[in-house]
Every structure is written in C-alpha cells, then in structure tokens.
Amino acid sequence: NAGVTQTPKFRVLKTGQSMTLLCAQDMNHEYMYWYRQDPGMGLRLIHYSVGEGTTAKGEVPDGYNVSRLKKQNFLLGLESAAPSQTSVYFCASSYSVALEGHEQYFGPGTRLTVT
Amino acid sequence: AQSVTQLGSHVSVSEGALVLLRCNYSSSVPPYLFWYVQYPNQGLQLLLKYTSAATLVKGINDFEAEFKKSETSFHLTKPSAHMSDAAEYFCAVSHKPNAGGTSYGKLTFGQGTILTVHP
C-alpha cells in the first residue's frame, strides 16, 4: 500500500494564480482532511470530508475550496493565491467513526510558496 | 471546545538522557489523545495513542505516555534519548464518536515541540 500520497511536493505561485493539490489514499478510508502547518502553530484543519461527495469547513477554510468526487481522492483548490497561504499542506485520512481512536494517516506534505 | 498545550517549543537533551515532552489538554469529556512525530521534511507519524484502555500507553521506539485525568496531562517520555529521536513532536486530542455518529474525528494539535539530541 502506498498509504496517503500528495501531488505536487513543491510549488511556487505568484499572487492571484490558482492551483489544485491532489491527495490520494489507497486504504479505503471514509474520512479525509486537509491541514496547513505554519511555524509555532501546529496543524490547523482547513476542510474535511466524511465520505465521497461530502465536504465541510474546518478551522481556517477561507481562500480554499475542496472536492471529494471519488472516495480515494480529496482535492484542495486555491482560486486566487495570497502570500498568507504560503505554508506546508498535509492531507490525512482515517477509518470511519465505528473504530476507536480516529487515528489519522498523513501524507508527506506539499510545500507551497506564494510570492 | 478542546485544546492542547505543549509546554516548551524546544527541548534539548543529551544522548542517553531522559526525554520528557509535556502535553496538557482541556476537554469537557474524556478524550482520545495522540502523540505524533514529524522528522524533517516528512509527514506526521503516529507514535502512540490513548483510547481509555490503559492509562500508560507504550508506543514505537520505546516512547510511552501516561494519561493523568486529574492533571489533564498526557506527557511523552523515553528513558534514553537517541540521536535519531531528533524531530518535532505533536500532541493532539480528539473527541470520541457521539451517539449520532456524526463525529468526524477532528484532531486538535498542540503547537509542537522540537526535540534536539546532543552527542
């Protein structure tokens, strides 16, 4: 199993440009999440999904959109990038609520710089 | 709402010394608690988790953590530090599933503690 993969690994954008980050998991997980990581702030939840075709806002959703058209994929879009979106983005997935612990499995991250 | 506080953004120890990374949580109900480790330029890996089965939890690489409800703490320890333990460590808290099954397993992370190990 590849686990959770993210594409691309690095990206540099100019202010106002758009892009999509792709997350894929091969563990048949229902739940998927997008986080951003900034120094000294831990990880903050951007958006999440509890199943194919569903999405919901997390703590810091402004400026981002997501889609979950297929169970194994979770896309994060930036329509008009801003320097404040310079960050490392992590995707994660987990089993359904029927299991204890909600352990999340993380991808390797995408480092995004907006100039 | 739950929150997590990690005391000390940087901890430095000598190789072979005890590692102690502190985590305190606030939650209105007994939570699930996790420690994750992040090595440079990598994603997060689960070290261990508390799910109410036992208060002393053992994880990978000889790490362990003890859940203390009275102190609302879940500190991470390792008896003898190794150079390869140098990384950033995150404590996280999650809610248990609710009766309606709508809990999505949201994790709230602490700010992280960078562990440096000196020879």
pLDDT by residue, tens only, chain A of 115 residues: 789 999 999 999 999 999 999 999 999 998 999 999 998 888 999 999 989 999 999 889 999 999 999 999 999 999 999 999 999 999 999 886 544 567 889 999 999 999 9
How many CA within 13 A on the CB side of residue A31? 21
Cβ contact, residue pair B111, A41, below 8 Å: yes
Q: How many CB atoms lie within 10 A of CB B54?
A: 10
Residues from chain A that touch B3, judged by Cβ atoms under 8 A, are none
- Closest-CA distance, A16 to chain B, in angstroms, reads 27
How far is the C-alpha of B95 from the C-alpha of A103, rounded, in Å?
Answer: 12
Residues from chain A that touch B46, judged by Cβ atoms under 8 A, are 103-105
Q: How many CB atoms lie within 10 A of CB B84?
A: 10
Q: How many CB atoms lie within 10 A of CB A16?
A: 10
